[in-house]
Amino acid sequence: TIFNDFEKIINQDWKEKDQLVTELGAKNVIYFLLDEINKLIYVGETGQDLKIRLSDSEHYKNVGIPHWTHYRFEVLPSSIGIKARREIEDMTIRAYATLISNTKDVSSFRISNYKLVNRKIRN
């Protein structure tokens, strides 16, 4: 296996934005933001505490999802470093781009009326 029994990816369910205050030290994550009203999705990564990262409202205004309403995340094993975490983020963004409308006009099946707002999408 890729990881030993101690090092597994921990999956979280979607939560409303106001539940962010209850998060305790989620680090080394791939996270997903959803704006239910404007039908937007954003995929990100961070090595720092998720609560701190998602508290930066100016950042999310700049990346195109200032009014996100829900979030979820995957905690990666501590053995996954920044380079691998960013590769996983890129792969996830690209996978979403092939399924929903996106900012780079990557050909997609458009299985939903949501739009992926990430700017860095591999062709």
Q: Model confidence at 1, in pLDDT bands (50, 70, 90)?
A: very low
H or E stretch at 95: helix 82-97
Which pLDDT score is estimated for 46? 96
Structure confidence by residue, pLDDT tens digits, 16-63: 999 999 888 899 999 999 999 999 999 999 999 999 999 888 889 899
pTM: 0.92
Spatial distance between the Cα atoms of 107 and 97, rounded to a whole number of angstroms:
8
5 three-class SS = coil
Structure confidence by residue, pLDDT tens digits, 7-17: 789 999 999 99
Q: Model confidence at 5, in pLDDT bands (50, 70, 90)?
A: low
Which pLDDT score is estimated for 6? 62
Q: Which of left, alpha, beta for 30 (phi over 0: left; psi -120 to 50: alpha)?
A: beta
What backbone torsions phi and psi does residue 66 show, to the nearest 5 degrees? -70, -20
Which pLDDT score is estimated for 8? 87
Spatial distance between the Cα atoms of 74 and 77, rounded to a whole number of angstroms:
10
Residue 2 has pLDDT above 80, yes or no: no
- By CB atoms closer than 10 A (0-12, 13-18, 19+), residue 90 is middle
